[in-house]
Amino acid sequence: MSEVTAVPLRPIKKGVLPMLWVGIAITLLLALAAAWTSTSKAVAMAQTPADFLAENGKRSGVVTTASGLQYEVLKPGKGPKPTAGDVALITYDGKLVSGETFDSSAKNGGPVPMPVSGVIPGFSEALQLMQADGKYRFWIPPALGYGDRAAGPIPANSVLVFDVGLIGFQPMPAGMPGMPGAGM
C-alpha cells in the first residue's frame, strides 16, 4: 500500500491576488494594443488610396486642399510662406501608410535644402503652405506623388505621408545646379 504525504499549502499573502489580476489585465491590454497596431497597418495597406484619403480627411484637424493634398498643422509657424522660386531648409520623415519609412532628413545628415519647385507636385504644394518654424504632416495622393510608377522603395500608387519641419527659406540662387532652367 502506498502512502500519500500531505504538503500543507501556505495561505496567499494579503494583496497578492489583486496584483495578479492587475498583471493579467495589463498583459491583455498590451496584447490587444499589439493586435490593433498590426491590424490597423494591414487595413490601411488593404485600402485603395482614395478610400484611405477619404477616411483620413474626416479626422479632426486634417485639411484637404482643392488638389487632394491633405495636411495637419502639428506646430504653427510664423511669417511668410515660401514660393515656387525659393529654397526651403527642412527636416522631414517620409513614410508609406503602413508606417514604413522610405526616406528622412536624419538619414541624409540633418536639415536639407529643398528647392520648392524641384520636388514632386504634392511636396511642392505642401511646402508653400508652411511658415518658418512650423511642423506639418502631409498625405500626398498618388496623383501628386509618383502616380502609377514605383520610385525606389515607394510602390506604385502609394499615398505618401510626410512629417515636415520648415526651418526657413530664401530665394533660389541663380543657376542652382539640378534645377529646371539652371545652368549646369
- Range scoring the smallest mean pLDDT among 6-10, 20-24, 106-110, 156-160: 6-10
Q: For residue 17, what pLDDT band results from cuts at 50, 70 and 90?
A: confident
Q: How far, in Å, CA of 91 to CA of 132, rounded?
A: 12
Q: What Å distances lie between residue 8 and 11, 12, 15, 29, CA to CA?
A: 9, 12, 21, 36
Predicted model pTM: 0.72
pLDDT at 12 over 80: no
C-alpha cell at 94: 517620409
> Cα separation of 65 and 82, whole Å?
17
Tell me how far apart the alpha carbons of residues 37 and 140 are, in angstroms, rounded to a whole number: 22
Alpha helices in the chain (DSSP H): 16-46, 49-56, 121-127
Please state the separation of Cα 106 from the chain's center in Å.
Answer: 14
What are the tens digits of pLDDT across the range 35-84?
A: 776 665 555 567 899 999 999 999 999 999 999 999 999 999 999 999 99
Domain-wise residue ranges, the chain: 14-46, 49-171
Class of domain 49-171 as given by CATH: alpha beta
